Amino acid sequence: MSKERKTLTTNFGAPADNDLNSVTAGVPGPVVLQDIHLIEKLAHFNRERIPERIVHAKGAGAYGYFEVTHDLTGYTKAKFLSGIGKRTEVLVRFSTVGGEKGSADSERDPRGFALKFYTEEGNYDLVMNNTPVFFIRDPLKFPDFIHTQKRHPATNTKDPDMFWDFLSLTPESVHQVTILFSDRGTPATYRNMNGYSGHTFKWYNDKGEYVWVKYHFKTEQSIKNLTRADAVAMAGQDPDHATRDLFQAIKRGEFAAWTVSVQIMRPEESESYRFDPFDITKVWPHADYPLHRLGRMVLNRNPENYFADIEQAAFSPGNFVPGISSSPDKMLQGRLFAYADAHRYRLGANYHLLPVNRAKAVKVDNYQRDGFMRFDSNGAGTPVYYPNSFNGPEPEAEAAEPAFDVSGIVGRHPYTHPNDDFVQTGELYSKVMSDGDRNNLIGNIVAHLGKAQKRIQLRQTALFYKADSLYGSRVAEGLGLDIKEVQSLAHMSHEQRAKATAG
Ligand code: NDP
């Protein structure tokens, strides 16, 4: 640090004469309104907080790089993926979802895993989670779902009835609920968890051929989780433990790394596959769609300033580069709008100009001007309309996603895909989990669901029973429920079950 004496200034650069005593009329005062330095300081302090993210408020992040290790250029023309050994700077922000900015890092919650690649064709964002599936598959349900994970409108506390009422009336959530209540719902640190795109994306090559892909980021630090008891203790001992861990590890030179792979599905396969490939409550089983190695991501640089680098970071699943695009996954379609909209609200219309969000490897040039906090030259005197004959920027037709067919009746279509909402949950419970995983899962569920009303416990336990009868029976036993009642609810249709357990 430089030893040179530095002058304290006002926000506009004038030297401040004193930073300890307000200007007063005599001793002890009153304070006079003409103390501009005091007023500027108090007024700025009042405005230090920007709106908290409605979801993913508590987070931590770091910079690093992504390196291509395997050639998949036959599938995508994205330039940052062209050529083994090619490196692209990245920023990652990890987070919990439901808690406020000061909530504990060890809370049971999915973890956000948001990633920005500063590519030579513009910023590409992947806004992932540490779970491969999600609770719902239609964005119309999202605000309701999040309300149930937040505070009750009257008590202002987290509410087990609200939490489980919604989930038990949303059967497609049972897969994600099972992962969330396994110990993967309380990762030991951000370094010890995987990242999954969950969503299906389109990759297209320079011949206009396309495939569907899902991304998998597997931790090289190995998966490590906290047990329920450890997570609860950690929330008291060090609510910032994962934030601290990431920063300290990078500071020590222990860089965190993930191997990056994709699953690839051909378009013709997507039409007849047994699971709906665009339903984010389902995975593509590895036996059907193995992982293809793509690269490696390393986080090796801490933010210099948390607010500038992490709080102001804004990710959007709609930030694509040529060669990568969206899919008909409805949740993804909703997020394409919602993320950028949230940033315009939280950071303002010019949030893309903030250093952390600004494209670094390419010049941004378009006809958008003005708005709050336009802090660059605002295009100076260059043309503000297109077309023009004053040498303004021109669209590049080659950047277009290849045109594709869609047809259908516009309407609010109920979900009719024949795939079953329970089979993958059953596979996870019976085939993937160890005895220890299952024991902890049942204990974690019983401890939480046990706080909800009995009729809600019954309705939710019926969903676990539908996934795997042993799973449901063990939860029923843990909660002291009548297994006959659970079985009878499990055999009803969704509508009948909702009616039989109505309040
Ligand atoms: P596989 O046996 O090939 O893969 C099982 C996957 O489950 C692995 O990716 C493993 O991740 C992950 N896993 C292990 N323990 C847990 C847990 N407690 N909670 C969540 N995931 C866990 O099986 P399939 O591909 O046929 O999938 C079977 C089930 O595994 C799925 O229904 C799904 O619930 C789950 N799963 C599947 C994934 C996929 O993309 N196919 C991804 C993640 C989970 P790791 O290798 O890192 O330990």
Q: Which residues, other chains included, contact 314 with Cβ-Cβ below 8 Å and sequence gap of 6+?
A: 339, 340, 343, 346, 347, 351, 352, 354, 357
Nearest-atom index, ligand 1, CA of 424 = 32
Spatial CA neighbour of 210 closest among 105, 322, 114 = 322
Q: Which residues, other chains included, contact 338 with Cβ-Cβ below 8 Å and sequence gap of 6+?
A: 139, 142
Nearest C-alpha to atom 19 of ligand 1 is from which residue?
179
Cα angle 257-260-265, degrees, rounded to a multiple of 5: 165
Identify the residues whose C-beta falls under 6 Å from ligand 1: 132, 179, 182, 184, 194, 218, 223, 283-287, 424, 427-428, 432-433, 437
Q: What is the pLDDT of residues 256-310, one digit of tens each?
A: 999 999 999 999 999 999 999 999 999 999 999 999 999 999 999 999 999 999 9
Reported as half-sphere exposure (CB side, CA atoms, 13 A), residue 326 has a value of: 15
Residue linked to tokens 């990245």: 90
- CA dihedral over 366, 369, 372, 374, signed as positive or negative: positive
Distance 172 CA to ligand 1 centre (A): 17
- For the chain, the domains span 1-48, 59-135+185-353, 137-169+422-503
Nearest-atom index, ligand 1, CA of 175 = 34
Nearest-atom index, ligand 1, CA of 183 = 18
pLDDT at 208 over 90: yes
Nearest C-alpha to atom 35 of ligand 1 is from which residue?
428
| Cα–Cα distance for residue pair 99/112, rounded to 1 Å | 12
| Cα–Cα distance for residue pair 483/397, rounded to 1 Å | 62
pLDDT at 14 over 70: yes
Distance 481 CA to ligand 1 centre (A): 30
pLDDT at 2 over 70: no
pLDDT of residue 3: 84
Nearest C-alpha to atom 44 of ligand 1 is from which residue?
132
User: Three-class SS of residue 187?
Assistant: strand
Structure-derived torsion over alpha carbons of residues 384, 387, 389, 393, reported in degrees to the nearest 10: 70
Structure tokens at 422: 């329970």
Q: Which residues, other chains included, contact 370 with Cβ-Cβ below 8 Å and sequence gap of 6+?
A: 378
Q: What would be the CATH architecture of the domain defined by 1-48? A: Irregular (4.10)
DSSP 223-249: --B--HHHHHHHHHH-TTHHHHHHHHH
- Calculate what percentage of the chain has a pLDDT beyond 70: 100
Q: CA 55 from chain center: how many Å?
A: 9
Give, in words, the CATH class of 59-135+185-353. mainly beta
Q: For 197-210, what is the mean pLDDT?
A: 97
Pocket test for ligand 1, best of 194, 282, 432 (most atoms within 8 A of CB): 432
Distance 123 CA to ligand 1 centre (A): 30
E strands in 182-238: 195-196, 201-204, 210-219
| Cα–Cα distance for residue pair 340/321, rounded to 1 Å | 16
Q: What would be the CATH architecture of the domain defined by 137-169+422-503? A: Up-down Bundle (1.20)
Q: Which residues, other chains included, contact 255 with Cβ-Cβ below 8 Å and sequence gap of 6+?
A: 64, 249, 298, 299, 300
Spatial CA neighbour of 299 closest among 191, 404, 216 = 191
pTM of the model: 0.97
Quick one: which H or E segment has residue 336? helix 330-347
pLDDT band with cut points at 50, 70 and 90 for residue 149: very high
pLDDT of residue 1: 59
User: Three-class SS of residue 448?
Assistant: helix
Q: What is the pLDDT of residues 95-112, one digit of tens each?
A: 999 999 999 999 999 999
| Cα–Cα distance for residue pair 145/162, rounded to 1 Å | 10
Residue linked to tokens 């948390």: 306
Q: Which residues, other chains included, contact 366 with Cβ-Cβ below 8 Å and sequence gap of 6+?
A: 393
Q: What is the pLDDT of residues 63-102, one digit of tens each?
A: 999 999 999 999 999 999 999 999 999 999 999 999 999 9
Reported as half-sphere exposure (CB side, CA atoms, 13 A), residue 289 has a value of: 22
Structure-derived torsion over alpha carbons of residues 320, 321, 322, 328, reported in degrees to the nearest 10: -10
pLDDT band with cut points at 50, 70 and 90 for residue 417: confident
Pocket test for ligand 1, best of 174, 224, 291, 428 (most atoms within 8 A of CB): 428
| Cα–Cα distance for residue pair 503/485, rounded to 1 Å | 16
| Cα–Cα distance for residue pair 170/42, rounded to 1 Å | 48
Q: How distant, in Å, are the alpha carbons of 420, 421, 462 from that of 415? A: 11, 11, 21
| Cα–Cα distance for residue pair 208/225, rounded to 1 Å | 43
CB 109 within 8 A of CB 96: yes
| Cα–Cα distance for residue pair 72/188, rounded to 1 Å | 33
DSSP state of 258: E
pLDDT at 418 over 90: no
- Catalytic positions are 56, 129
Nearest-atom index, ligand 1, CA of 216 = 40
| Cα–Cα distance for residue pair 193/182, rounded to 1 Å | 13
